[in-house]
Amino acid sequence: MSHTEILPIRLLVVDDHGLFRRGLIALISQDERFDVVAEAGDANAAQVAAKKWQPDLILLDNHMPGVLGVDAIAGLKEVAPKARVLMLTVSENEQDMAAGLRQGADGYLLKTIHTEDLCDSICKVWDGDTVISPEMMGKLVGLLRHVPEPVHPSSDALVLETSKTVPIDADDPIHQLSPREHEILMLIAKGDSNKHIARALDIAETTVKIHVQHIFRKLGLSNRVHAAVYATERGLS
């Protein structure tokens, strides 16, 4: 039984635009899965609130006055070590995304996301997944191709810091995939969402979701980011 089936996820919302922040809180608060325990308009206030309230998850903007969101992640994790951090920003810059993930962010979403998708993403992050806006997945794959060597010991950082091609051995689990699953894996690596994949292959979105679950299980992966890395390393993207 997941956390979301027992208690609401306690949120700290950090954004310097008061109108957006209040609107976001109002929308999220309509969902019984969440309890917004605090809000902040800059990194310093966020650190104080995180230390006081010990939220389960921090929704963090990037471009704020003073300290940028990506530069505040380490401090937030220090004062609230159990909190997950989900960036919610207007920035489509791949370097901002890379910096956030390297600093320990558990996801990177654009503010153009629909409320329902945002709420579902919060739950996925709380349950241990990594979420990336579909619009940013292609840029993430681009980063994988161009960064030459791993320089950070953390497994999360390796998502962005490996570009070596891995030979496909005879015992590689990729051989367990059906032709359709192989096709879907390639589209995931290109950054396509389930909806886009369904349109491209002329199949139902629910069918795509089932295929994606099978791909994760067969390859021993937990999310789309890892699937994109796996495919890119093997030259499938």
Write out the DSSP string of 127-183.
TT--EE-HHHHHHHHHHHHH--S----STTGGGTS--PPPP--TT-GGGGS-HHHHH
The whole model's pTM is what?
0.71
CA gyration radius, the chain: 18
CATH for the 136-233 domain, from 1.10.10.10, 3.65.10.10, 3.10.180.10, 3.40.30.10: 1.10.10.10
Rounded average pLDDT over 29-48: 96
Residue-averaged pLDDT of the chain? 85
Show me where the domains of the chain are located. Answer: 3-131, 136-233
Structure confidence at residue 65 (pLDDT)? 87
| CATH T-level topology, domain 3-131 | Rossmann fold (3.40.50)
Rounded average pLDDT over 10-36: 96
